Amino acid sequence: MFTRNKLGSPRRKRDGLVSHIPLAEGDVNGGELTVTWVDVALGSAQRPHGHGPEQVYVVVEGRGLMRVGDEERHVAAGDLVYVPSGTTRGIINTSDRCLLTYVSAATPNVDWRAFYHTGPLPSWSEDERERAGA
């Protein structure tokens, strides 16, 4: 059995996001799943991005605006969002008083080390932030 607490997980900080990676490639023999626990600060956003693996986001706390491809939808604690393989995705914290926290799972594995150390990514436009209320 493999277990790891969020606090003991590898962690990355960038642009108002703190990402914990409790399950990644190499953690379990033959595993094909990457799991992240992400806290998004007030007014911050996960930049729109894409990668090969399909993914789900489960909102644990707060509320936000989720983009998947060309669609945007408001999400809140308890919501699950499915993202097909290769589709652009991103989320912005639209709360005025709390973190947006989500857990994501992607398969096959995401090389999170490379992902967190890549160059500039696109950002949410000011118009998109305004529509989100952030």
The string of DSSP letters for 79-116 reads -EEEE-TT--EEEEE--SSS-EEEEEEEES---HHHHT
Does 134 have pLDDT greater than 60? no
User: Mean of the per-residue pLDDT values for the chain?
Assistant: 86
pTM for the model stands at 0.83
Tokens linked to 47: 């930049």
Contact 109, 28 (CB under 8 A): no
DSSP run (H or E) holding 37: strand 34-40
pLDDT band at 121 (very low <50, low <70, confident <90, very high): very low
11-61 residue pLDDT tens:
888 889 999 999 998 899 998 999 999 999 998 998 888 888 899 999 999
One-letter amino acid at 40 equals V
Contact 103, 36 (CB under 8 A): yes
- Boundaries of every domain in the chain: 8-132
pLDDT band at 78 (very low <50, low <70, confident <90, very high): very high
Instruction: State the Cα angle at 129 between 123 and 134, rounded to 5°.
Output: 125
User: 62, exposed or middle or buried, with CB in 10 Å at 0-12, 13-18, 19+?
Assistant: buried
% the chain with pLDDT above 70: 82
Contact 102, 45 (CB under 8 A): no
Does 77 have pLDDT greater than 80? yes
Does 131 have pLDDT greater than 60? no
pLDDT of 120: 42
One-letter amino acid at 98 equals C
Yes or no: domain 8-132 corresponds to CATH 3.30.930.10? no
Q: Are strands 100-107 and 80-83 parallel, antiparallel or unpaired?
A: unpaired
